[in-house]
């Protein structure tokens, strides 16, 4: 076999493989794009009128954003908005229909991931502190039975923790956010659920 012919054969097979891989990736991207768009359409009054542009899917495949416009109740287009979505249990779920473009990049996705983890941990801690300080049973700690003021303070605490995580990423407002969090933490640990 001629060396030139052999190289051409290998090069031809490599080209076919590369084209197949690119084609497969394009199909995957189109499939994800259609799933994201379908999730947004399911939240619209007139899903058939939906227009989409600028789709973003995070590198880890957990978050997506897409700009959308659709007809409103008066039959006219209402203007462009950004939908933010999360991928969960093999499906896309809309988190915000009126989201923000600044959440639509991989850096923002990483920050939002840290925020979600911190908020969950903060809520768990707040509920544990309330239960311990007020000597409440597990049944009394169910959200429907827990005193409303305690429930509200626990959620306020989780928001303060979120503010700290975001402030750390932006390198501004850290002192204020930390002071608010420390005050709420101390009150919750004492079982004080009244407004501060």
pTM of the model: 0.59
CA gap 18, 12 in Å, rounded? 10
- pLDDT exceeds 60 at position 8: no
Which runs of E-coded beta strand occur in the chain?
51-57, 63-69, 81-88, 91-96
Query: Average of pLDDT values for 69-79?
Result: 91
CA dist 54 to 6, 68, 81, 140, 154, Å?
A: 44, 9, 11, 47, 37
Q: Which residues contact 168 (CB under 8 A, 6 or more apart)?
A: 174
Encoded tokens for 160 = 């303060």
Residues 113-141 have pLDDT tens digits of 888 899 999 999 999 998 899 888 888 87
Helices (H) and strands (E) in the chain, counts: 4, 4
Please name which of 116, 118, 119 lies closest in space to residue 103, comparing C-alpha atoms: 116
CA gap 67, 72 in Å, rounded? 16
Q: What is the pLDDT, as a whole number, of residue 186?
A: 93
Residues 159-191 have pLDDT tens digits of 999 988 888 877 777 888 888 899 999 999 998
């Amino acid at each position: 076999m001629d060396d030139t012919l052999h190289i051409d054969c290998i090069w031809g097979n490599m080209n076919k493989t590369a084209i197949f891989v690119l084609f497969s990736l394009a199909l995957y991207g189109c499939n994800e794009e259609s799933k994201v768009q379908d999730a947004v359409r399911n939240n619209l009054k007139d899903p058939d009128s939906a227009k989409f542009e600028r789709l973003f899917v995070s590198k880890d495949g957990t978050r997506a954003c897409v700009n959308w416009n659709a007809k409103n109740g008066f039959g006219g287009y209402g203007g462009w908005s950004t939908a933010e979505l999360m991928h969960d249990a093999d499906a896309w779920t809309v988190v915000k229909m009126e989201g923000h473009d600044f959440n639509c990049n991989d850096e923002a996705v990483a920050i939002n991931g840290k925020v979600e983890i911190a908020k969950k941990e903060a809520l768990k801690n707040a509920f544990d502190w309330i239960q311990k300080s007020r000597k409440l049973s597990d049944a009394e700690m169910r959200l429907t039975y827990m005193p409303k003021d305690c429930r509200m303070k626990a959620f306020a605490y989780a928001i303060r923790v979120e503010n700290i995580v975001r402030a750390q990423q932006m390198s501004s407002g850290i002192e204020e956010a930390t002071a608010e969090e420390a005050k709420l933490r101390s009150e919750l640990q004492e079982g004080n659920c009244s407004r501060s």
